Structure 1
Amino acid sequence: MKYLLKSFVLSLFALLMTSTAMAAEKGSRDEAVALVKKAAAYLKENGKEKAFAEFSKTDGPFVDRDLYIFAYSAGGDGTNLAHGANPKLIGKNLLDLRDADGKAIVKNFIEVANSKTGSGWVDYKWANPLTKAVEAKTSYVEKVGDVILGSGVYK
């Protein structure tokens, strides 16, 4: 009986440790907001050219696990200015980009960023750079001058 109890406790402990480790591999909503705030400060201090180059480095200071910075023009044209997970998107007009459910992703970023508050959350589906699977995601976007900065978490 003691052996069974000991085995059960050890198994439970191993399961909890695995769950904790897996949770630590994903960024949190608070971490996404903090990364956007860090990017906003960097943009204001260093200008667009330097900031967009740093934001677009897939192994740079604005990428943390599954969190990364993306930037769009706030003018409404949908031009991607920086992307920490997929540099191939930079310079492309993604205004009509839709997720697997047909949701207009970039249009929603622009709408939220140009709202009265200038920031907020947008839900959609996107490919996770770590798992490569399309997953539910929510991104925090914030207008900084004429730029929309964002970072999101996979649910």
Structure 2
Amino acid sequence: MKTVSGVVGAALCAALVVMMPAHAADGGANKDDAIAMVKKGVTQIKGQGADKTYAAIIDKDNKDFHDRDLYLVVYGLDGTVKAHGANTKMVGKNLIDLKDIDGKPFVKERVEMAQKQPSFWQDYKFTNPETKKIEPKSMYCERLEQTVVCGGIYK
């Protein structure tokens, strides 16, 4: 009987490990975290208005929109940054022609994807604010009127 209960216990532990959210090896955010933060941002924009929410996204002390290496960005569908959780210097700039290290025009791709679908994942490379290194990133985005609200994870 001890063997059966040991096997059942081991199987239960294995199942729990598989069901737990996977974080990056360095303790970074995961896909579920990104989706939840984007949805929180969209909900707050709808309920409290864009100006108030953009200010909260930009405020690095606001834990609703800053969690480890996860933060929100909001682009207009023309490529203009409305809010940026990691770099306030980008706010107000049109980055439609910005490319990642591989030459991928990720902002242009992002706004084009937003014009075609209400939500999506996008892959590109970007500087991780925690490690300060360029790393592969997956960005979850949702279109909201004439903007796209995004939060990404580093792989």
Identity of aligned residues (%): 44
Contact conserved, 2:24 with 2:154, CA < 8 A, in 1? Answer: no
Equivalent position of 1:148 in the other structure:
148
Secondary structure, counterpart of 1:70 in structure 2: strand
CA RMSD for the aligned pairs? 1.6
Secondary structure, counterpart of 2:51 in structure 1: helix
Aligned residues: 133
Contact conserved, 2:23 with 2:29, CA < 8 A, in 1? Answer: no
TM-score (norm 2): 0.81
Q: Deviations over 1:28-76 (max 9, x none)?
A: 01110110000000000011110111111122120100000000002xx
Amino acid at match of 2:74: A
Equivalent position of 1:49 in the other structure:
51
Work out whether 1:31 is the aligned partner of 2:30.
no
> Which of 81-90 and 55-64 deviates more?
55-64
Compared CA separation, residues 48 and 27, structure 1 to 2 (3 A):
same
CA distance in 2 between counterparts of 1:22 and 1:51 reads 28
Runs of 4+ in 1 over 4 A off after TM superposition: none
TM-score (norm 1): 0.81
CA positional deviation for 1:114: 1.2
Contact conserved, 1:26 with 1:65, CA < 8 A, in 2? Answer: yes
Structure 2: gaps of 5 or more residues? 1-21
Contact conserved, 1:112 with 1:121, CA < 8 A, in 2? Answer: no
Compared CA separation, residues 98 and 59, structure 1 to 2 (3 A):
same
